[in-house]
Structure 1
């Protein structure tokens, strides 16, 4: 069990001050996004109510109400006593089938709308990162490219992919872009990184991340944006393809006779 105290660029993006002050549901959504993206792990202890209140710029009562909402959703467990506090509970059994059902039930037009937003956010973040990136960006993003390539489970894959997207938005030095990136990854990531045969080609996506990184580090703003947009198109096409297949009856979740899905339809 880890207590979340050290602030990272990614966690700072999630726990940045709220624009819509005083809304418990907005606070709960922020913390739920951090859990969905794997920025906080199962069993981790959340910051205290006072700390969360200071980071998010809301009243203690708002944080308390938000934690109650998260408890109702099964994402947080509160323990009393000397070593008490609020602890993360990540979704357990059945979550994969719930995500498959959600992807099946979403309209293709909704997926394309999400893709359009991701295209604008990720493409712009890549362009600005190429123009504004600081010296330590290369090692951080290179590590995330390797993390995605080496990831063995869907949770690890989702986490590495999301962190790459969000780190790039953080490198763009735009608080608003970083917040949009967090929200989009929390919405798209769990739908994208499903078990075989529904998940994308991990190696291919990692290579696309590497191509974006190469352009960013070279200061090639146009190339970085083009590579980021190409990657986004591949993601959306994959999601639409899997949505249509699931809506048409789909395949069993663990059918050994069916190979892994491609990263992009033909």
Structure 2
């Protein structure tokens, strides 16, 4: 995803649109730091500019920066050359991400799943209509990189980049921007569910199937596969949020790579 750094930065600093604006700013910037969209030591825009970019008051922004400082994600320096700087803590990122996941309600996660699945599904359907074989090169390259990725940070970045590149293949600027914005919200949390090699194999199979459907121009199948890829990952994240007995390592939803799914109590929206 760092291939389009200016576009990513614009998405990171777009206005937040929730009533809990302090929490929204903390979540937005914290996830961007954990996902590597904001680099260690990078200086954030000045308070007035950053507040305007995020669509919040300077008071709200200062409260958010205070919370980020308490989490060790931001350092503020005074005087000449001062400002707020990104600080990536030495401690395990998974611990921070689990704490951040607990700030999401299951209803918010399900709503996010619906939104993300809709965007990725629409992107895949349009990509199947509009792409030429050479347009799929970025997707194939990301698939190969994901195959080789060993740490969860790299896996989550490539996973998110795949979905952004899928939207780009749809030749839709709005869908691409929507995917980038979604990655600033949930991309870092994907580290919590991409640690298992077994599950990574499942993800690779799904991505490979999406590429195949797009290549063959199978619009509906491409849409269904892309939606299911997102929903399966979000189901695992919700299971982890709920702290179920199985957690993120629980049984997979019973589905195949064509998007068909048998009835299951783990299905999103059915109270799982």
TM-score for the superposition, normalised by structure 2: 0.65
Tell me whether 225-234 or 94-103 shows the greater mean CA deviation.
94-103
Deviation at 1:225, TM superposition (A): 0.6
Q: Match of 1:248?
A: 245
> Residues 113 and 48 (structure 1 numbering): CA distance in 2 closer, same or farther, change over 3 Å?
closer
Matches of 1:153 and 1:210, distance apart in 2: 20
In the alignment, is residue 39 of structure 1 matched against residue 37 of structure 2? Answer: yes
Q: How does 1:88-127 map to 2 (within 5 A)?
A: 88-97=86-95, 115-127=113-125
* Preserved CA contact (<8 Å) 1:37 1:189: no
Q: How does 1:187-206 map to 2 (within 5 A)?
A: 188-194=189-195, 198=196, 201-206=199-204
Counting matched residue pairs gives: 249
Deviation at 1:105, TM superposition (A): 11
Structure 1 counterpart SS, 2:31: helix
Provide the aligned C-alpha RMSD in A: 4.6
Tell me whether 100-109 or 55-64 shows the greater mean CA deviation.
100-109
The counterpart of 2:146, out of the listed 137, 145, 148, is 148
> Residues 108 and 92 (structure 1 numbering): CA distance in 2 closer, same or farther, change over 3 Å?
same
Structure 2 counterpart SS, 1:41: coil
The counterpart of 1:9, out of the listed 3, 7, 10, is 7
TM-score for the superposition, normalised by structure 1: 0.66
Q: How does 1:151-190 map to 2 (within 5 A)?
A: 151-169=149-167, 172-174=172-174, 177-178=178-179, 181-182=182-183, 185-186=186-187, 188-190=189-191
In the alignment, is residue 209 of structure 1 matched against residue 207 of structure 2? Answer: yes
* Preserved CA contact (<8 Å) 1:79 1:85: yes
Matches of 1:223 and 1:99, distance apart in 2: 33
Matches of 2:147 and 2:119, distance apart in 1: 24
What 5-or-longer segments of structure 1 have no aligned partner?
251-260
